[in-house]
Amino acid sequence: MLEISIGGVFVPAALVWAGSAFVLSSLIDRLVSRTRFYRLVWHRGLFDFAIFVLLWGAISAGAYHLAFFTGTTK
* pLDDT tens-place string over residues 44-63: 999 999 999 999 999 999 98
> One-letter amino acid identity for 42?
W
- What pLDDT shows up at residue 72? 53
Rg of the Cα trace of the chain?
Answer: 15
Q: Is residue 35 part of a domain?
A: yes
Q: Count up the domains in the chain and report the number.
A: 1
pLDDT tens per residue across span 3-55: 888 899 999 989 999 999 999 999 999 999 999 999 999 999 999 999 999 99
* Cα separation, 65 vs 57, whole angstroms: 12
1 — pLDDT class (breaks 50, 70, 90): low
- What pLDDT shows up at residue 60? 92
Domain limits for position 63: 3-69
Q: Is residue 74 part of a domain?
A: no
Question: What's the pTM?
Answer: 0.82
